[in-house]
Structures are given as C-alpha cells and as structure tokens.
Amino acid sequence: MNRVQSVLSKKPKKWIANLLFVLAISALLVYSFRNTSINPMRIRSIPFLIGNFFNGFTEILWDALLGYGEFRFVESITYLALQTLAIGFFGTLLGSILAVPVSFLAAENVVGKRVAKVGTFFLIVIRVFPEIILAYILVKGIGGGPVTGILVIGIHSVGMLGKLFAEAIDSMDRSSIEALDAVGANTWQKIRFGILPQLMPLMSSIALYRLDINVRSATILGAIGAGGLGALLTIFSDPPAWSILATIMVAIMVMVMAVDTVSSYLRNKLV
Amino acid sequence: MIRFVDVQKTYANGVQALKGVNLQINDGEFVAIIGLSGAGKSTLLRSINKMISITSGQLFIDDAEISSIKGKDLRMLRRNIGMIFQSFNLVKRMTVYNNVLTGRVAYHPTFKTVFGLFPHEDKILALESLDTMGILDKAFTRADQLSGGQQQRVALARALAQKPKLILADEPVASLDPITTVQVMDDFARINRDFGITIVANMHHVDLALKYASRIIGIKDGRVVFDGPSAAISEAKLVEIYGRALKHNELLGE
Amino acid sequence: MARLTLTNGKVVIKPFNRIWIVLGIVIALSFLFGYVVALESEGITFRPDQLPIILKKMFSPHRGETWIDYFSYILELQNVMVMTLQMCYGGTVIGALSAVPIALLSSKNIVKTKWIYGPFRFLLNLFRTIPVTVLAVISIGMVGTGILAGMIAISLFTFGIMAKMLFELIETIDMNCVEALESTGANRVQAIRYAVFPQVFPVFIGYTIYIFETNVRSSAILSYVGITTIGTIMKDNEMTDYDKVGGAVILIFVVCVIIQLFSDLVRRKLE
C-alpha cells in the first residue's frame, strides 16, 4: 500500500496548470468587458429589432433582386452576386497559380531546410497582412472595381494556399518517383508522372476549400470599393434598411450555399 | 551481360556495403541473390542501373563501363533495364494503363511525354504488356484499387513495356501472400523463358530462390561467398551465408 | 473514347481522360465570370502610378511633422487598439464556447438520428451565410455602437465558423473509444466527456486561436458599419491624413505578427 500511495503522491499535479489556464482565460474575459455599457432602452427594443430583421424577409424586393421592372439585370442584386462570385473565383484561381511556385520554395522535401524557412516566413508575412488593409491600399493606389478585388483576394490567398500546398508537398510519397528514376525519366517527366498525379487532387481540394472562404471575403470587401455586394451592404446598414438587407442576404445565401455544396461534393470526389 | 570487376561501395556514413565484388552475369540467366538483410544485396542490385554509384572498381553493362555515365546516357541505360520494387512503386492515383506507359518516357522527347502524347505503337505496346501479364481487363482502373499481386503485375507490365534486356527485382514478392507469391514468381519465370530477358532478383525466401533461379549468388558482409548453379548449393553453404541455420520465415514452405 | 487493336486481335476501348472535363468547366466558368467582370470594369480607370505615391503618403510623416510625431500618433492609437482586442477576444471566446453544444448536436456520430443533426446543420449553414456586417448592424441595434456591439457581432460570427469546424472535427475522431466506454456502462454524456473531449480539446484550442487571429485581422471592416475599431482610423482619414492611416496600418500589422507568433508557439506546445 505504501508504494502505491507514494506513486500516487508523485503524480504530476496537472490540475494546477489547468486551473491557472482557466483562470487566466476568464480574467481576460472579464477584463474585455471593461468600459462597456448597456443601454436599457436598447435592450427593451431587442424583440422589436429581431422582428424587424425577420420582417425584412417578407418584404423582399423581387424586382431589385432579379432585375425586372424598374431595374435592369445589370443593376440587379443577382448580377452583383454573380460579380462577387466572379471575384471569389478568379481570386482563388490567381492565388492558386501564384501559390504553387511559392509552396515549392517552402517545402523542406524539395529545397532543403534553409530555403524552406525563408519561403515559410514569406508566406507568413502575406498571411498576416490583413486583407482589408491590402484592399484599402490597392483601391486607393490602383483604382477600385472587381479587378482590384481579384488582386486583393488573389494575393492574400497565396499565404494560406501556399502553406497548405507546402504541407501537401512535404507529405508526398516518394516511391513512384524512385520507379520513374529507374525507368530513365528526366526531371520534367518525373514531375509530370510522379509528382503531379499525387499533388493535383490534393491541391485542387485545398483550392476549393479556399474558394468558399474567398467568396465570403469578396462579399465583404466590396465595402471598400473592391466590387461586389459589399458596398451595397454597408450603404444600407447605417441606418439599417431591413427589406433591402434581407433582399441582399437572400442572394448571398443562395450564392454561398451553392458554392459550399459544389465545393463539398467535388472535394469528396477528389479524395 | 553484366560484369563486376573488384567493385566496392562505401556509404557516406562509413558503412562498407560491397567489399570487392567480382561477378559475371550472362544474357538470359535467372539469377537470385540471397543473404542476410544488410549484407549488401540491395546495394549490389541497385549499382547495376546506377541507382547507387560505386566507390571503386569497374562495372560493365554489355562491355560499356558505366561508373562515369550520367545525364542522358544514364537515362538511356536505365530505359533498357526494368526494375521491380518490393512496394510496387506505382503511381497510385493513375490508371494501370498510364502507369505502364510511364515505362516508355525515356524513349521520347520531354515535350511530348509531358503532355501525354505517346505514339500509337506505345499505347498498343502498353496494352499488350498488360495482356501478357493477364490483367488487360484492369487497364483503366486506378492503380491503388488493385490487390498486391495485381499491382506487382502492373509493375512487371511497366518493365516489359520498356522492352528491356534485363529486369532487376528488389525483393519483389516480400510483400505478397504465399499464393500470390508463387503466381508472381511464375510470371518472372515465364518472362525469362519466353522473352529471353535476364532476371536478377534479390530474394528473401531462400527456397523460392532455389526453386526458380538457375543460378544463386550468396552475399555475406559485402562479399560474394557463393556463385554457382542452384543445384550446387549445400546446406552447409547456406549456413555460412546466413551465419546460422535458416529461420522459419526465410523459407516459404510448401 | 479511342479504340485500340492489339497484335493478337483483341480490341480495347480507352475512356476519356477526366482532366479534360475539369479543364473545360474551368474555362467555361472563366468566360462567364470574365464577361461579368469586364462589363463592370468598363467605366473604371486604372492609375497604377498612384500606388507609390499613396504608399509614400501613408508611411512617412506629412509636411511640417517629424518622425517623432508619426510614431507618437501610433502610441495614441493604443486605446483604440485595446478596444479592438477586447472585442475580438471576448467575441472569440464566447462564440467558441457557445459553438460546442451545437457542434455536438450536429455531429453524425454523436447524434445518430438524421432528424436532429440534419436540421441543426442546415440552420447552421444558413446562419453562416449572414455577413459579419449584418451581424454588426443587429448588434448595434441591440446595444448601441461600442465595444459590446463589436463583441456580440464577433461572437455570433465565431459561433458560426467554430460550430462547423468543430462538427467536422468531431466526425473524424475514433469512435472505438466511445464504444469501449459505453460498454463499461457509461452514459452518453460521460462517454463524450472521456472519449471525445480529450481527442478534440487540443485541436479546439488551436482553432480558437486561429479564429481569434482572423477576427483581429478582419475587425477593421466593422468600422464601416459604425463600430469603433482600429479600422475607424482608416475610414475617417480616408481622403485626408494618409499618414494617420499608415500609422494605424503599421500598428495593426505589428499586433497581428505578435499574435501570429504567440499562436504558433501555443500550437507547437499543444503537440
């Protein structure tokens, strides 16, 4: 019994660390409420607010949505949604193409540890730079519109895509490349028949995942002038015009759910 | 014809894998190399198609010394030599047909192969190789959907598509179950007999080696300690090669 | 399809390469979307020469001021920065924690009946399509502009993202442990606590930190609907004091880098 008791008493006291962890998180949480205040009148109006929100959906402006009556199609919200989709699509495409060479430079398997560290660092910098600020700079610097939006999303995506691509490269199976060596293939042939068939499905899957995120991003970036629905959203947010907001949200819902479904379906087929 | 003249191989970490190997393998032979793991079998085999470079000595393939060849000449050497691996080394996501076609890449310019533009004869050759191995019906299935034995047959078809004079096999049946093992070894025997292709195989299972190969090379500690017809090997010699009585898992059993 | 005849007379039919279908779809989509983008970009002029000018204006002190003024302005921004961080931290923690029960209810392997997880997932997907700006508008309606509104908006947004990531994670865990536990007589909740929780917790923390990072980076957009964040500096000084914008940008970037480094550190410790 004594031996067991002594082992028990030597058991690492993890609960202290856990407790400290929870305390720290909670303390910070409480601190984050500093300087906040609640307006009781506003609180009383919450049900009214929620009612307005849902009510907006009953008053959808179909002509603005679909582009008939007073609105031409190119002024309709559906058209803007298409535009947003286009920005997300091309942005992801651009980002994927740019990310491929960079990801090779960040993959230890290919270029060795030292070069890979530089590549990874470069990718981290791109990733950390906030998208909105990039959008702001480019809109002011180059001009606004969908093309700028594509550039912003494209450049920013390189960060995350590059990192995930590099991880895919690092997890490659070398055995088929060995066989190609034995058959007398040169470097290009080894890439085409050994590396590409493994990486293409993986990279496409990663890009499709990113497409989902980028379309949502594109929806918001419009506020800064990068084209798409964003501008419309922010204009009608202050003060909130619920019926228009609901109309826009319907378009967004359809668009995002479509992209989500297609993306999930294709990703399942690729693996 | 392969000729080793006083070949030595020392790895960068100081390990001496081959210590003065002298050998001659003639066209059409079926040679099995046996020995303990780490004795130097793999090194010996891979130096033939220069997957491993020897440190000293001379290696002749058809009277051409190969220790200094590189680049295009090396690839031309390799395209005439087929290699079969223990883990098949197929491109898993590609179809069987495409895998076999990769055996032809060294025969055509880069540009064409990279875009998948193989000549008609190559496509026929690939399918015929599959037919020879009895798996033509699997031609357009993804390679990783096949069983181990079938995958090794695809690898053999790939080697055949190269129209080689020599096939090297590095423990080709070590990953297969006993029944499939016999089937694949029969395939090797058939290829050797019907096409006259020289076979040099590293074998883990000694009784298989004795049964299928006409000639045995026993390696111990980087040296050749036996080189002769399989009928001539004695129990005592086997003990010498393995340093002890054979273990149960080194015999396939009947 | 191609028909190939072998020398021994056998005929083989070779099916089409799937790659061409994929390429075809991508090209078709590119044309469709390209047309939309081109249409919209007709009236926009691009002035890439403005970029270096804008950059210089942002990242150097204005006429009559010195570098000391430039950097002391950045220090003045710390209040706003702390407010932004408060919002992001509180929002992320609350959102992440509230996502847990919903994620459990949406997981196929925890709730075996389709009638439960199906609707939860659908509603979750629907909820996630609401752009963060609209969430912000609702929050402002509830509590007025200020830190609390930002926190609520971010927590709702985080809730959506985390719930999805979490149930996808829960579905990949090894169910054998849960089975084993239930065979000892544990009830569902106990089984979850002891079999699911340990596998999921470290990854959950990783996700939370990642979402926190993302929230800090995208918090600037909330300023476009009226919540005061560090992004408000950008919005207020849009046309005039570019150096103030530049100062804010530098501050945001530095903070993001610090958070990123901290996040990597914690992630590594979790492994």
pLDDT band at B248 (very low <50, low <70, confident <90, very high): low
How many Cβ pairs within 8 Å bridge chains A and C? 182
Taking CB atoms and an 8 Å limit, are C5 and B97 in contact across chains? no
Q: C240 and C113 in one domain?
A: yes
What are φ and ψ of residue B12, in 5° steps?
-60, -30
Taking CB atoms and an 8 Å limit, are C8 and B127 in contact across chains? no
Q: What is the pLDDT of residues B58-76, one digit of tens each?
A: 999 988 888 888 888 888 8
Query: Is C172 an 8 Å CB contact of chain A?
Result: no
> Which of C17, C33, C57, C258 is best to mutate for the A interface (most A CBs within 10 A)?
C33
Of residues A182, A186, A192, nearest to B83 (C-beta): A182
Q: What is the pLDDT of residues C79-130, one digit of tens each?
A: 888 888 988 999 999 999 999 999 988 888 888 788 888 899 889 988 988 8
Taking CB atoms and an 8 Å limit, are B158 and A179 in contact across chains? yes
Residue A265 has pLDDT above 60, yes or no: yes
Q: Is residue A223 part of a domain?
A: yes
Count up the domains in chain A and report the number. Answer: 1
- Residue C33 to residue A270: CA distance in whole angstroms: 24
Residues of chain C neighbouring B131 (CB-CB closer than 8 A): 6, 8, 10
Q: Is residue C217 part of a domain?
A: yes
pLDDT band at B254 (very low <50, low <70, confident <90, very high): very low
- Structural domain that includes position A259: 62-270
Its CATH architecture, for the domain B29-42+71-247, is 3-Layer(aba) Sandwich (3.40)
> Which of B98, B114, B131 is best to mutate for the C interface (most C CBs within 10 A)?
B131
What's A232's domain CATH number? 1.10.3720.10
Burial of C209 (0-12, 13-18, 19+ CB in 10 A): buried
**Closest Cα in chain B, distance from residue A173 (Å):** 9
Which pLDDT does position C198 carry in this prediction? Answer: 79
Q: What is the pLDDT of residues B187-206, one digit of tens each?
A: 999 999 999 999 999 998 88
Partners of B166 in the beta sheet? B81, B198
Can you tell me the mean pLDDT for A243-257? Answer: 88
Of residues A38, A86, A142, nearest to C47 (C-beta): A142
Query: Is C109 an 8 Å CB contact of chain A?
Result: no
Taking CB atoms and an 8 Å limit, are A179 and B90 in contact across chains? yes
Can you tell me the mean pLDDT for A104-124? Answer: 86
Taking CB atoms and an 8 Å limit, are A188 and B49 in contact across chains? no
- Give Cα B26 to chain centroid, integer Å: 15
Q: Is residue C11 part of a domain?
A: yes
Of residues C6, C15, C17, nearest to B124 (C-beta): C6
**Closest Cα in chain A, distance from residue B198 (Å):** 16
Handedness of CA C209, C210, C215, C220 (dihedral sign): positive
Q: Which of residues 9-38 of C touch A (CB under 8 A)?
A: 26, 29-30, 33-34, 36-37
Q: C79 and C8 in one domain?
A: no
Query: Is C47 an 8 Å CB contact of chain B?
Result: no
- Residue B152 to residue B146: CA distance in whole angstroms: 10
Query: Is B94 an 8 Å CB contact of chain C?
Result: no
Which pLDDT does position A92 carry in this prediction? Answer: 94
Taking CB atoms and an 8 Å limit, are B124 and C15 in contact across chains? no
Which pLDDT does position A13 carry in this prediction? Answer: 74
Q: What is the interface pTM, i.e. ipTM, of the complex? A: 0.83
- Structural domain that includes position C21: 2-40
Q: C206 and C137 in one domain?
A: yes
Q: C121 and C24 in one domain?
A: no
Q: C238 and C200 in one domain?
A: yes
Query: Is B97 an 8 Å CB contact of chain C?
Result: yes
Q: Is residue C48 part of a domain?
A: no
Q: What is the pLDDT of residues A18-52, one digit of tens each?
A: 888 888 888 888 888 887 777 777 778 888 888 88
Q: Is residue A222 part of a domain?
A: yes
- Residue B2 to residue A27: CA distance in whole angstroms: 77
Can you tell me the mean pLDDT for B214-236? Answer: 87
Q: What is the pLDDT of residues B123-146, one digit of tens each?
A: 999 999 999 999 998 989 988 899
A153: Cβ contacts below 8 Å, ≥ 6 apart = A87, A88, A91, A92, A94, A95, A131, A214, A217, A218, A221
3-class state of residue C8 by DSSP:
coil
Q: Is residue A159 part of a domain?
A: yes
Q: Note the maximum CA span of chain B.
A: 56
Count up the domains in chain C and report the number. Answer: 2
- Residue B157 to residue B102: CA distance in whole angstroms: 11
Question: Interface partners of B (3+ CB pairs, < 8 Å)?
Answer: A, C
Helix (H) or strand (E) holding C4: strand C2-5
Low-confidence ranges of chain C (pLDDT < 50): none
How many Cβ pairs within 8 Å bridge chains A and B? 81
- Residue B209 to residue B251: CA distance in whole angstroms: 10
Taking CB atoms and an 8 Å limit, are C7 and B131 in contact across chains? no
- Residue A196 to residue A180: CA distance in whole angstroms: 13
Taking CB atoms and an 8 Å limit, are C131 and A219 in contact across chains? yes
Q: What is the mean pLDDT of chain C?
A: 84
Taking CB atoms and an 8 Å limit, are B124 and C10 in contact across chains? no
Question: Interface partners of C (3+ CB pairs, < 8 Å)?
Answer: A, B
Query: Is B89 an 8 Å CB contact of chain A?
Result: yes
**Closest Cα in chain A, distance from residue B76 (Å):** 6
Query: Is B131 an 8 Å CB contact of chain C?
Result: yes
pLDDT band at A94 (very low <50, low <70, confident <90, very high): very high
What is the amino acid identity at position C83?
Answer: M
Q: C195 and C90 in one domain?
A: yes
Instruction: Give the whole-number percent of chain B exceeding pLDDT 90.
Output: 42
Say if CB A183 and CB B158 are below 8 A apart. yes
**Closest Cα in chain B, distance from residue C22 (Å):** 16
Q: Is residue A40 part of a domain?
A: no
Query: Is A271 an 8 Å CB contact of chain B?
Result: no
For residues A74 and C16, the model is more confident at C16
- Residue A87 to residue A156: CA distance in whole angstroms: 13
Q: C35 and C132 in one domain?
A: no
Query: Is B118 an 8 Å CB contact of chain C?
Result: no
Q: Which among B15, B16, B20, B39 is positioned nearest to B203, based on CA atoms?
A: B39
Q: Which among B122, B159, B124, B158 is positioned nearest to B143, based on CA atoms?
A: B158
Q: Is residue C47 part of a domain?
A: no
Residue B251: CB atoms within 10 A of its CB come to 13
Q: C91 and C24 in one domain?
A: no
Q: C245 and C146 in one domain?
A: yes
Residue B249 has pLDDT above 70, yes or no: no
What is the amino acid identity at position A212?
Answer: D
Q: What is the mean pLDDT of chain B?
A: 88
DSSP-derived letter for residue C44 is P
Q: What is the mean pLDDT of chain A?
A: 85
This prediction's pTM: 0.80
Q: What is the pLDDT of residues C126-143, one digit of tens each?
A: 898 888 888 888 888 888
Query: Is A182 an 8 Å CB contact of chain B?
Result: yes
pLDDT band at A165 (very low <50, low <70, confident <90, very high): very high
Q: What is the pLDDT of residues B150-181, one digit of tens each?
A: 999 999 999 999 999 999 999 999 989 999 99
Which pLDDT does position B173 carry in this prediction? Answer: 92
